[in-house]
Homo-oligomer: A and B are copies of this chain.
């Protein structure tokens, strides 16, 4: 095996940004109710002023605010009711000093008025007269035309993952459909002579495939689409043939390595033989995940991940997410970090970034991160994990009680 320089996570991310900078997915127009969790392919601008007219934010009387100056509980002012605004309808009424027009919440403010006094602060003396007991300032009870948003304002930015409230905002400005990125297409291969698909009986000595399932679900969660998944034998010819079959339709081909010696070489050799530039990351200074391979051929990204489920999950959570986020123009702030305190001492590996799976428990509004240990490859490790913490290369482990930042899985 050729000795290659092991990269740090930062170096890997930088190389990925360089090699994949021209990678792009097309956009498609979809209905806003189908858009939850999808990613905006362009800025959304408001085509209207919102509100489109001066609107009342309360139930009350539209008046001239100066008619209330100096009024109080003991010294009200008396105003003449000259009309009523109907909900959802235009009004041609005009309010002059000494007059008042009833306006429901959301109703149009009649000309002349510069505020609305809430019905709680008036008393209706008869059909034609109200007494006002509280002063209002100009603008009270009114949301002005364009105060919420102006025509041409950016409402939501390209690269935003659409949330429920965004869908409400889009409908509020009259947008029924929205342009989102198509989902990046990912092919997932798991290599290993002993690995078999989970359905049905297996032969003694065989191991049921975990990685294509876990990685497929991760791809979906990150906003990608799995177009192919398979368990294949880990020899050069088979791997090359299958990758050649899927590479043209894929934005990313993920190969999670079998666990026998020498498989890593096969993956790297296949990538290199498929075209330039081939492998550009061969080994990363992280634990777990050191034998990670990243390359490019035929304008498709190809990842070689470790075979152990925990390692494969962590590496894909780092670099798979970085790749998909890059393709979807998703910015840096797109995953919340949970603050917790370490529930016990946690060791690190000198010279490597260490990723430690943790379970989180809550005690008195305080999260406690408990490291989960177990033999490599154990499934119970990943079902117990709520997330992981990163220990920097130069940090010598973490003390019990120390603050940690947990990335949720």
Contacts and interface: CB of A to CB of B under 8 A. Distances in A.
Contact of A167 (B168, B193, B214): B214
A25 interface: no
Interface in A316-341: 333, 336-339
A198 interface: yes
Interface centre among A209, A211, A213, A313 (most CB of B within 10 A): A213
Interface stretch (A52-60, A273-281, A348-356): A52-60
Contact of A88 (B33, B168, B193, B339): B193
Interface stretch (A122-130, A217-225, A246-254): A217-225
A149 B143 CA distance: 61
Given A204-B53, A207-B106, A221 B164 contact: yes
Interface residues of A, number: 92
A88 B203 CA distance: 8
Interface centre among A33, A208, A215 (most CB of B within 10 A): A208
Interface in A240-264: 258-261
Contacts of A205: 53, 87-90, 107-108
A405 B409 CA distance: 20
A259 B105 contact: yes
Q: Give the number of times this chain occurs in the complex, counting copies.
A: 2
Contacts of A374: 148
Interface string A345-363: 0000000000000000010
Contacts of A199: 174, 176
A169 B259 CA distance: 18
Contact of A194 (B57, B88, B198, B336): B88
A408 interface: yes
Contacts of A382: 165, 168-169
A376 B57 contact: yes
A166 interface: yes
Nearest to A51: B207
Given A106-B207, A148-B378, A171-B213, 6 more contacts: A53-B205, A89-B194, A164-B409, A168-B210, A168-B211, A169-B210
